[in-house]
Structure 1
């Protein structure tokens, strides 16, 4: 699809990518600060992992911003995608270690109303942002932009998983639910990392993207 784009349209899409990653960086910096702080206070492996994922989101978005600041962004596709996949693996390793410590009884998760609030907010913001970025990346034919959109999709999964774990702990005192949520987070991160490394950037939004007309006039 990208081969048929006019230069004017391509420039417009490049500007849109820069806007998306700028917003992503700003939001995720705030999310990371809140989630890591709340997770540390509550000894929540899931919340800390969620906050670290936000930091990885920032690094991933920064990599995309760097790529699209180059004169020829397409030239830097492969190393950018590889950097994103490595970030997934790093997140998974950290979350697994913290979840194992919690399950082993070395630390116990406490209730976190602040964590519940930030997870619920992200469950609203991230899917919309991911869908917007994926459509943009698909029209550009950019695997790195689509891979970054998958980071946002993962963040949506994380938000839902962490929210469920926090609610179960808050309502029923099931501290183990936090660790289980964290391990699910890690499994998702490993899967996404493998797919990004292979260049497989299919998205849950694929059907929506296919069914929506190209924004040739936007």
Structure 2
């Protein structure tokens, strides 16, 4: 869904004041530039032209500054969890680049004017305009610089420095025109322009360095000093035993602080959390706007970031790399036999089944009757017949095994039963009746 928030929904009063200062700087900077342009058109002074060009860059820088302050005031989101304050450093770098190009252009124009020869200029009109312009620029520079320091906004501070260089350049042009009027040396006009370019060149380099330092998260020594003062007071008050790894960085004017605090090891987790939260609040109030995070450690514990902490425990190669996930068995449980039958797969004793049907038999063929079963041996010394045992089933041997697993189609068994003349036995004959008939004497013998 689109963002339906308006600037009033997320811009704080602090940010609104910053936007107002940037807007005033843009409006008054535009008026000052128009005054300088009018002065150049009336006088034809290359020094006034250089000053006008610098003021034009001030307008562009003020417009970028206004947009950057508005964008930096947007709240944090999923893609920018630390907010949008880094754009302030980009705006400072952009302003530094503009000043650098302005210095190069002013120096190039002045040298060209010096080589081609000086031209006549109307000094009296130029002096009057420059006096008014100087007063307006000085008042605007003081207002932006003081408000920028009070609001702790890097963009306003950078723009205030830029306006100060503008005041110096206007003052230099004013003094140069006075010398031209007193001496009549027209070649002083381009020389003054070159001096102005040399003055504003270091300012551009300082702004570029400030932008690069902010983007690289360079710590401010003044901020670190204030944080250490607060933590030292907490150590003296016995709230904490010591501290280390104090770090601070900026996203625009916003401070991000993290540190390690060592406390009494007898404190509970809740007590340690309450103590750390109180110290975080004090630091946030001292560096407003800020966000502080404290990592709590028991006093005397090893910490790789604390050079005064005791050495870590010696490394043992016999120690397990990971804790056991299951508790060890007790003696009673380990003494009981383990039933591994659940892990055994059942053995199929039957041979592989042959699903191929036997070849059909002709109706004229009469199979021979099966041989009668051998009588059971009465003498234990005699050889025992081949019986169906588990060993034979496993090895797949024995005549009875083969007979027991011999298969025939139902049609073949029916034909053999009908064509067998000796099959005079009833269907439900028992084993005992079969033995009696077999042992009965033959009357025809």
TM-score bracket for the superposition, by shorter chain length: 0.7 to 0.9
Structure 1 Cα separation of the partners of residues 86 and 94 of structure 2: 15
Structure 1 Cα separation of the partners of residues 135 and 14 of structure 2: 24
Structure 1 Cα separation of the partners of residues 105 and 117 of structure 2: 16
* Residues 103-118 of structure 1 aligned to structure 2 (within 5 Å): 103-118=114-129
Change (3 A) 1:114 1:74: farther
Structure 1 Cα separation of the partners of residues 179 and 158 of structure 2: 32
Match of 2:56 in 1: 55
Structure 2 Cα separation of the partners of residues 127 and 12 of structure 1: 27
Secondary structure in structure 2 of the residue aligned to 1:68:
helix
Match of 2:104 in 1: 93
2:193 is the counterpart of 1:192: no
2:82 is the counterpart of 1:82: no
Residue 17 of structure 1 contacts residue 133 of structure 1 at CA under 8 Å; is this kept in 2? no
Decide which structure has greater helix share. 1
2:156 is the counterpart of 1:145: yes
2:132 is the counterpart of 1:131: no
Change (3 A) 1:22 1:118: farther
Residue 92 of structure 1 contacts residue 187 of structure 1 at CA under 8 Å; is this kept in 2? yes
Change (3 A) 1:32 1:135: closer
Secondary structure in structure 2 of the residue aligned to 1:98:
helix
2:30 is the counterpart of 1:29: yes
How far did 1:109 drift? 4.7
How far did 1:174 drift? 2.0
TM (norm. structure 2) is: 0.40
* Residues 163-202 of structure 1 aligned to structure 2 (within 5 Å): 163-199=174-210
Change (3 A) 1:95 1:143: same
How far did 1:103 drift? 1.6
Structure 1 Cα separation of the partners of residues 197 and 85 of structure 2: 30
Decide which structure has greater strand share. 2
Change (3 A) 1:125 1:36: closer
Q: Which has the higher contact order (CA 8 A, sep 6+)?
A: 1
Q: Could you list the runs of 5+ residues in structure 1 that have no partner in the other structure? A: 1-9, 201-218
Deviates more, 1:132-141 or 1:182-191: 132-141
Q: What RMSD over aligned residues (CA atoms) do the two structures have, in Å?
A: 2.3
Question: Which structure has the larger Rg?
Answer: 2
How far did 1:41 drift? 4.5
Secondary structure in structure 2 of the residue aligned to 1:199:
helix
Q: Could you list the runs of 5+ residues in structure 2 that have no partner in the other structure? A: 1-10, 75-83, 212-445
Residue 154 of structure 1 contacts residue 188 of structure 1 at CA under 8 Å; is this kept in 2? yes
Q: Deviations over 1:52-90 (max 9, x none)?
A: 111111111111110122234623111101110011111
Match of 1:209 in 2: none
Deviates more, 1:113-122 or 1:148-157: 113-122
TM (norm. structure 1) is: 0.78
Count the aligned residue pairs.
192
How far did 1:107 drift? 4.3
How far did 1:150 drift? 0.5
Secondary structure in structure 1 of the residue aligned to 2:86:
helix
2:22 is the counterpart of 1:44: no
How far did 1:180 drift? 1.9
Change (3 A) 1:83 1:198: same
Structure 2 Cα separation of the partners of residues 170 and 13 of structure 1: 49
Change (3 A) 1:114 1:28: farther
